[in-house]
Amino acid sequence: AQKITQTQPGMFVQEKEAVTLDCTYDTSDQSYGLFWYKQPSSGEMIFLIYQGSYDEQNATEGRYSLNFQKARKSANLVISASQLGDSAMYFCAMREDTGNQFYFGTGTSLTVIP
């Protein structure tokens, strides 16, 4: 079974609008971490935001927020006020505390339209 599922291969959003990128995960661990990374065409994976499984509040980092719904095992990324520079691939990832691996999803390609 896939540990991380991203069902949106590609998304479009108008500049200055908000967009939600979906991510669901599968784990039997009680303690784990969820992450989002941005990968522009240059190839570097840029860390955006982190949510711990025990964190009661949704994480926020500037224009990024993580909509964490533990019961549904979802960790959606919300980007507010989209900018042209937000066009990139976005990867959801999970780290289980019992193991050492980071599991990555297949990514969502976001295109911001002027």
Instruction: List residues near other proteins by CB under 8 A.
Output: 4, 33, 35, 37, 42-47, 50-52, 91, 95, 100-102, 104-107
CB of 61 to other proteins, least distance (A): 10
Name the residue nearer to other proteins (CB basis): 14 or 31.
Answer: 31
CB of 114 to other proteins, least distance (A): 25
CB of 105 to other proteins, least distance (A): 6
Task: Say if residues 37 and 47 touch (Cβ distance below 8 Å).
Answer: yes
Name the residue nearer to other proteins (CB basis): 14 or 99.
Answer: 99
Name the residue nearer to other proteins (CB basis): 14 or 69.
Answer: 69
| Beta-ladder partners of 10 | 109
Distance, CA of 82 to chain centre: 15
User: Which single residue is written with the structure tokens 């955006």?
Assistant: 48
Name the residue nearer to other proteins (CB basis): 57 or 114.
Answer: 57
CB of 54 to other proteins, least distance (A): 10
Question: Rounded CA gap, 6 and 66, in Å?
Answer: 14
User: Which single residue is written with the structure tokens 């989209």?
Assistant: 82
Give the Å distances, CA to CA, from 21 to 4, 38, 88, 105.
Answer: 13, 12, 12, 12
